[in-house]
Structure 1
Amino acid sequence: NISVGKESKLTIREGDYIKISVQDHGEGISEKQIQKIFDPYFTTKKTGSGLGLSSTYSIIKNHNGHIDVESEVGKGTTFTVYLPASRENLPDRQLKTSETIKGSGKILFMDDEKSIRETVFKMLTYMGYDVESAKDGVEAIKLYEKSRDNGKPFDVVIMDLTIRGGMGGSETIQKLIEIDPDVKAIVSSGYSTDEIMSNHDKFGFCGVISKPYDIQKLSELLSKIMNGKGTE
């Protein structure tokens, strides 16, 4: 634990914090790159999305924390996270245990990252749903139309708000509403501060879920929507 006072150079409120540092001894990051590493879509990897560190930054900021990075080329990098500490005692109560809610139906999942599509496919399949995946809005619309034409429409569409280099959730939902005014769609993002995430119903979505995905929360949300219990 550390205390942050007025003399601190950290851009966070005064108070007590938990300090967590993670260090490696890799190639290091150049001064030019280090100024951009928290920017959305910035990446030095051929297969990277550039959303990992920007999502991390957003999550920590939303918890009134701070993340800092120091690096030296050829020697390694250190990331330091500061999160507000609490002096309150934990309540003496039993934790509620809950199980994943199983269901049935057909779901279309849209995300530009293959690893996320594969992970969520397994989660949804485990819950009991039939799943198809799309990498962007164009592909999602084609799958949605094809499914309707075949008489086997999707019950729910889950789509990422931001698709790198492609049609994201905000544009896709408008296209889907033109095709099917009764479409049931859930918007997802790692950026909880986006207006669509806080007012999803005004943009045509019937539910919202933040990344990283929690299988319990996702199963509860799908159960409510499948049973017509309104927006989440």
Structure 2
Amino acid sequence: MKKKLVVLTGAGISAESGIKTFRDSDGLWEGHDVMEVASPEGWRNNPALVMDFYNKRRQQLKKVVPNAAHLILAELEQHFDVHIITQNVDDLHERAGSSNVLHLHGELLKARSTKRENYILDWTDDLNFGDLDDNGHQLRPHIVWFGEAVPALEEAISITNEADFFAVVGTSLQVYPAAGLVDFAKPGTPLFYVDLNPARIPNLRNELEVIPTTASEGMKLLKEKLLARL
């Protein structure tokens, strides 16, 4: 029976594929204040701007490809029962071949009803006014915005609690509740942290090995370290 490897991934893993993040500089995301395009208030104030923003992100996603970090995570399924919990809304893990991917913050290639959060559709093209659910309600991007609940959190906690190994890759660990997942690893679970600018994680009860480099380089090293522990 394969050991369970749980990996929390963040913006740093997708950045190497050319997907920009907003936490790298001044809080702007593709030139927008993040609260204008990633909050319920932003949607209420200017839904056209929000839809245009995510339409452009969707178009950009079609032009990028998974990088070495994504591919290595997929390859590790040969040796481990790999479960990826990602803060990213892109589909690069799936396109790289990973089988078990849980999106904490929603998915760019889906849309949902503004009135029924469980009414979710695959959506690969532009989203516009007049795109409605079956009850005539406007659709919105299937993104968990700032200030909204994270529906997948309980499942993520349960997966983390079952991990034999837990790794964090490409995240500043600044966005909660995702950043708190590391606390749900069982006592004694080996922890690994791959990030170019790793944050300090206080009060950890488990051993933590920090790999301070890019996601792609870090995943090469992490793969070696994990295979050595089998």
Q: Which has the higher contact order (CA 8 A, sep 6+)?
A: 2
Give the structure with higher Rg (CA).
1
- TM-score, normalized by the shorter chain, greater than 0.5: no
TM-score (norm 1): 0.31
